[in-house]
Chains A and B, each alone.
Chain A
Amino acid sequence: MKLTHLFLASTMAVTGAAGMAAADFPSEQPIRLISPYGAGGAVDIASRILSSVSGEYLDTRVDVISIDGAGGQEAINLVRDAPADGYTLLVTDYGPLITTALQEDVSYELDEWVPIVQITEVSPVFFARADGPYTDMETFIELAQADPGAISVAHGRYLSVPHLPLILLEQVAEFETNHIPTTGGGQALAFVLGGQTDAGASVPSTIAGGIGDGSLVALALATAERVDALPDTPTLRELGYDVVLPAWYTIFAHRDVPAERMAILEERIMEALNSPSAQALGGRTGTDVRPLGMEASMEAYQTTIVNLEAILATID
């Protein structure tokens, strides 16, 4: 492993040195966008939207490279060890970057990472079968309080984007359910549809079909505001529970990358993602491409760290 990094670092040092000398960033070599997830997942698809319009707006190619080894740490380490020239960036949600860092020994500090652009916000949503007893969040919480642990809720992986809001909601609203980890949104959906579990937690794109055909009902969102995909679904904050824990897919640079390069990246990537072609691709792949710049995405990053620290402290 060390050898690998040494090798990668040395090849990149050679190419990087040449890049530093040139003034016309970022056009002199392709940008590598390293993703800690396998090809074909939601983060990957969001990254490829940027990649497909990059030629026009960034004057260079953006290559999305999936490195899902070691629970995402391999990808993060690669970006960290690469020369800080702005040509190697990280794209991720908070799981591998923050959750893992708060739970295990990792090679980096959280403040080493500077968010450049948040590509999209992902909204955790709770849902149940439309023909079941849980037609709204109030009823769900009442029934859960009446018989602690009896209601089962399928979420994604342990401590994943839909699971953490569930933990937080139970703390805030004082109830208890039986958490069933699944392989992801697809399995959680199948469990709810098949009546294996009483409710589920996922993201809007997973349940869109079931909401559309009337087989599912969305109970509540763990976001600050309602989302376009589910206009009739209330947020938990509206219902009086302060549970706001959205996820994001964000492009990060290491803090050693020169500030002017970060600014150029921010400007160009924002422009690329706001372009009609990127928006159209987002619509086709079910990704709500709504880019936020450095300041706003830094705020989202830090808020998430604070929230996750609080939640994880209670369950360890």
Chain B
Amino acid sequence: MMEFLAEAFALALSPEVMLFALIGIGVGVTVGAIPGLSGDMAIAILLPFVFVMEPAAALGLLVGIYKGSMFGGSISAITFGVPGTAGAAATVIDGYQAKLKGQPNRALHTALYSSIIGDTGSDLVLIFLALPLAAVALMFGPVEFFALYVVSLTLVAALTMGKVARGIAAAALGVMLAMIGRDPITGAQRLTFGLPELSGGIGLVPLLVGVFAVSEIIVQAGRAWMRRSGREMADITARAEALGYDVSKDRLDWPTFRATLKATLLGTGMGTFIGALPGAGASLAAFMSYGVAQRLSRKPQEFGKGSLEGVAAAEAGNSATSGSTFIPLFAFGIPGSATAALFGAALIMMGITPGPTMIKENMSLIYALFIMLIYANLFNFCISKLLLPVYSRLAMIRGEYVLPVVLGLAILGTFAASNSVKDVWVLLAAGLLGVGLRWFGVPLGPLVLGFIVGPGLEQSLRQALMLGRNDWTHLVQSPIAIGIYLGTLAILVGFWLLTRARPESADGAAGGGKGAT
């Protein structure tokens, strides 16, 4: 025990690894702060390079990017009312209002503190729960896994704020896209339309980068073409400068901060819980904790008008998913979010297969990762605190400089990942698909999660049926599986009751975020 801990500390605290974690955080906060760029994108683009790096250094870099981007998203959300990442959409509601009230510094610092607290809490839960959960994971066979996959798809589709039908449609589309290629049981080609290029299926990286990044680039380029984006940006900048604001009168003092602590802790709990559910994401966690914090606040009427509690709840909520989202990955090998899927891919490239035996087989590296998760929070805190004023200007970089670079990186990264020009076409096609989905207001998250869990869903269902000799009741003969189904039902009912109680605030939240984008 002590031996591998010492090894883990040596790995995690080596100068190279710490340097990469620092660089990662710098990159993460930067891409998080730039609307349209996200930590997931940066990780996806860097994936091919992971293979040639030392595993610990690569993990440090990825962890840094992930954590940095979680907070970075709030910078542009507060400063300009434009969420830098999907997770920061809830932060816009009160953060931007606080800024308009002349308190950007307070709001930014509230966001930073709550983000770090939420993240750390979630990491601790991961560290202490992943191992025990991994121990029981061997009890999960095809029947139980199928139940888990059904749950994650149900949750992600049903919890898509205000667009349940579209969420289900997107998840189903994702599952269908995942079925292209080879049948997992017989290896026969299917749904390839006779194209040999499709016989290996559609790659995760081109689909992910295409749907999220390329489509965003196309949409933004289209907006810039319409000469709207430039004018909006100029307006915002002019307004920010016209405010004539004095930082010394906008310090976050202890009593003000203490008042937001309850919301932060609520957000931490909510975010950690939602993050651990396979399929639910940071933006859902942020909106849910915002909603709950408002219900339980002493001053609910201030929410939506620049309440620092609102900022704290949203930021703690989205950042608290960052540790717990790894629980399903580490315990079961199931990626619970797009980010977790990317980390899973990175681990596989290092020769480590995520799953029940992973922690046992790679003790020192996984504990090194845990140590990195914790100290990366500290780094994130220091760097962000020092550079907050600089970062807030990043959001003012004009799209015409940023977008071509990002598009080039996306194409290069995708090609490098598979050495295949085919994947570049898939990337561009996925970009167009993403534009179409955005046009019709179909959420992208469920699509990507459907695509990610689709193969596992199908494989476990068919394995379970083979084991049960094609008896469908075999699927509900496991007490664990029944427990999972009942638990989901309880969660769905709970969410339904919560959202039903405050329909106006949920609508306002979603509308506010959308309007600002």
Residues of A at under 8 Å CB distance from B? 1, 3-4, 7, 38-40, 45, 65-74, 104, 149, 152, 157-159, 178-183, 186-187, 189-191, 193-197, 209, 285
List 3 tightest A-B contacts by C-beta distance, closest first. Answer: A196-B141, A194-B138, A158-B187
User: With contacts A69-B418, A209-B361 known, is A152 near B467, CB below 8 A?
Assistant: yes
- Chain B residues with Cβ below 8 Å from A190 are 138, 355-357
Residues in A neighbouring B196, C-beta threshold 8 A: 1, 70, 73
A197–B468 Cα distance when bound, in Å, is 11
- Give chain B residues whose Cβ lies under 8 Å from the Cβ of A65: 419
State whether A71 touches B200 (Cβ < 8 A). yes
B365 → A minimal CB distance (Å)? 14
Beyond the given A38-B348, A149-B469, A186-B355, please list 5 additional residue pairs across the A-B interface where CB-CB is below 8 A. Answer: A40-B349, A178-B467, A194-B139, A194-B141, A209-B357
Residues of B within 8 A of A159 (CB): 187
Which of B14-22, B168-176, B178-186, B431-439 is the interface stretch?
B178-186
Q: Mark B186-225, 1 if CB is under 8 A from A, else 0.
A: 1101000000111110000000000000000000000000
Report chain A residues within 8 Å CB of B418.
Answer: 66-69
Residues of B near A179 (CB, < 8 A) are: 466
13 A-B residue pairs with CB within 8 Å: A38-B348, A39-B349, A67-B419, A69-B200, A69-B420, A69-B422, A70-B196, A71-B200, A74-B197, A74-B422, A178-B469, A187-B355, A285-B351
Asked if B463 CB lies within 8 Å of chain A CBs, one says yes
Residue of A1, A68, A187 near B197 (CB, 8 A) is: A1
Residues of B within 8 A of A40 (CB): 51, 348-351
- A70 and B200 contacting across the interface, CB-CB below 8 Å: yes
Quote the shortest CB–CB distance from A86 to chain B (angstroms). Answer: 20
Residue pair B419, A189 in contact (C-beta under 8 Å):
no
Docked-complex contact B199 and A182, CB < 8 angstroms:
no
User: B351 contacts A189, CB within 8 Å?
Assistant: no
| Nearest chain B CB to A200 CB, angstrom units | 13
Q: Which residues of B contact A189 (CB under 8 A)?
A: 357
Given contacts A67-B418, A193-B138, A194-B139, contact A180 B463 (CB under 8 A): yes
Contact mask for chain B residues 415-435; partner A; CB cutoff 8 A; 1 contact, 0 none = 000111111000000000000
Distance in angstroms from B31 CB to nearest chain A CB is 24
A151 CB, nearest partner CB in chain B, Å: 11
A72 cross-chain contacts in B, Cβ below 8 A: 200
A9 to B422, CA, bound (A): 16
**Taking CB as reference atom, which chain B residue is nearest A179?**
B466
Chain A residues whose CB sits within 8 angstroms of the CB of B375 once the complex forms: none
Contacts of B350 in A (CB 8 A): 40
- Once the chains bind, are B142 and A186 in contact (CB under 8 Å)? no
Q: Tell me the nearest residue of chain A to B455, going by C-beta.
A: A183
Please determine whether A74 and B356 come into contact, CB atoms closer than 8 angstroms: no
Are A68's CB and B200's CB within 8 A? yes
Distance A67 CA – B420 CA, assembled complex (angstroms):
7
- Nearest-neighbour CB distance to chain B for A70, whole angstroms, equals 5
Contacts of A68 in B (CB 8 A): 200, 418
B140 at the interface (CB under 8 A from A): yes
Given the known interface contacts A69-B420, A74-B420, the answer about A191 and B185 at a Cβ–Cβ threshold of 8 Å is no
**CA of A181 to CA of B467, assembled, Å:** 11
Contact A4 B189 (CB under 8 A): no
Chain A residues within 8 Å of B237, by CB: none
Task: Classify the interface of chain A: helix, strand, loop or mixed.
Answer: mixed
- Closest A residue to B466 using CB positions: A180
- Asked if B297 is an interface residue, CB under 8 A from chain A, the answer is no
CB neighbours (8 Å) of A158 from chain B are 185-187
Inter-chain contact B197/A70, CB cutoff 8 Å: yes
- B353 CB within 8 Å of chain A: yes
Q: A178 CB to closest chain B CB, in angstroms? A: 6
Whether A186 and B187, one on each chain, are in contact in the complex, defined by CB atoms closer than 8 angstroms, is: no
Report how far A72 CA is from B138 CA in the complex, Å. Answer: 32
Chain B's closest residue to A34 (CB) is: B419
B419 cross-chain contacts in A, Cβ below 8 A = 65-67
**Does B459 have its Cβ within 8 Å of any Cβ on chain A?**
yes
- The chain A residue sitting closest to B187, CB to CB, is A158
Q: Considering only CB atoms, which chain B residue lies closest to A182 in the complex? A: B463
Residues on B with beta carbons closer than 8 Å to the beta carbon of A7: 421
Considering the chains assembled together, what is the distance between the CA atoms of A221 and B20 in angstroms?
Answer: 45
- Give the distance in Å from the alpha carbon of A126 to the alpha carbon of B72 in the complex: 51
List of B residues within 8 angstroms of A45 by Cβ? 351
Closest-by-CB residue of B relative to A194 is B138
CA distance A4 to B418 in the complex (A): 14
- Roughly how many angstroms separate A70 CA and B195 CA in the complex, as a whole number? 9
CB distance from B253 to the nearest CB of A (A): 51
Inter-chain contacts of B361 with A (CB < 8 A): 209
B448-470: contact bitstring with A at CB < 8 Å (1 yes, 0 no)? 00000000000100010011010
**Which chain B residues in 244-263 approach chain A with CB under 8 Å?**
none
Given A40-B351, A69-B420, A74-B420, A194–B140 Cβ distance below 8 Å? yes
From known contacts A69-B422, A71-B182, A186-B353, infer whether A39 and B138 are also in contact, taking CB-CB under 8 Å.
no
CA distance A3 to B348 in the complex (A): 31
**Interface pair A73/B357, CB less than 8 Å apart:** no
> Do B199 and A73 touch across chains, with their CB atoms under 8 A apart?
yes
Using CB atoms, name the residue of chain B closest to A106: B196
CB pair B467–A180 under 8 Å, yes or no, is yes
Q: How far is the CB of A289 from chain B (nearest CB, A)?
A: 17
**Docked complex Cα distance between A73 and B459 (Å):** 23
Q: Smallest CB–CB gap between B478 and chain A, Å? A: 10
Q: With A and B bound together, what is the CA distance between A243 and B35 in angstroms? A: 61
Q: In the bound complex, what is the Cα–Cα distance between A70 and B199 (angstroms)? A: 5
Instruction: Name the residue on B nearest A286 (C-beta).
Output: B351
Find chain B residues with CB under 8 A from A67 CB: 418-420
- Bound-state Cα–Cα, A194 to B459, Å: 18
Q: Which of B199, B422, B469 contacts A4 (CB 8 A)?
A: B422
Q: Is the CB of A183 within 8 A of B459?
A: yes
Cα–Cα, bound, A230→B403 (Å): 56
What 0/1 pattern do residues 353 to 379 of B give for CB contact below 8 A with A? Answer: 101110001000000000000000000
B138 near A178: Cβ-Cβ < 8 Å: no
